């Protein structure tokens, strides 16, 4: 797939089976994703750990965006109580 993107225009890659290769990859990954979802949802410890990882990734991405765009977040207030209830 990478070679198709490097060597062809988007239209050529799509005609060359790129979309079909993506569909095949998604279908083949269904079992793996199902297994991972079952593991995460199966135990409180796994759910909490996953939530922690996702939070950290989002926070890191937001911090990078804020620093890149020079946005001042101090003007925004988020009540912790309402946030924790929605989780």
What pLDDT score was predicted for residue 43? Answer: 92
Per residue in 40-73, pLDDT tens?
A: 999 999 999 999 999 898 888 877 776 666 656 5
Token pair, residue 34, equals: 């199902």
What pLDDT score was predicted for residue 42? Answer: 92
Which domain, by its residues, includes 33?
1-42
Of 9, 25, 42, which residue is a domain's last?
42
Shared domain for 1 and 38, answered yes or no, is yes
> What is residue 74's three-state secondary structure?
helix
Shared domain for 37 and 64, answered yes or no, is no
Shared domain for 38 and 55, answered yes or no, is no
Shared domain for 38 and 49, answered yes or no, is no
Shared domain for 70 and 33, answered yes or no, is no
- Count how many domains the chain has: 2
Range with the poorest average pLDDT among 18-22, 50-54, 62-66, 79-83: 79-83
Backbone angles phi, psi at 18, to 5 degrees: -60, -50
Rounded-to-10 torsion of CA 84, 39, 41, 45: -40
């Amino acid at each position: 797939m990478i070679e198709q993107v490097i060597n062809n225009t988007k239209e050529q890659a799509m005609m060359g089976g790129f979309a079909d290769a993506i569909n095949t990859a998604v279908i083949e990954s269904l079992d793996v994703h199902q297994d991972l979802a079952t593991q995460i949802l199966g135990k409180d410890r796994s759910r909490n750990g996953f939530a922690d990882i996702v939070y950290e990734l989002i926070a890191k991405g937001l911090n990078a965006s804020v620093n890149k765009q020079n946005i001042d977040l101090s003007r925004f207030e988020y009540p912790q109580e309402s946030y924790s209830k929605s989780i």
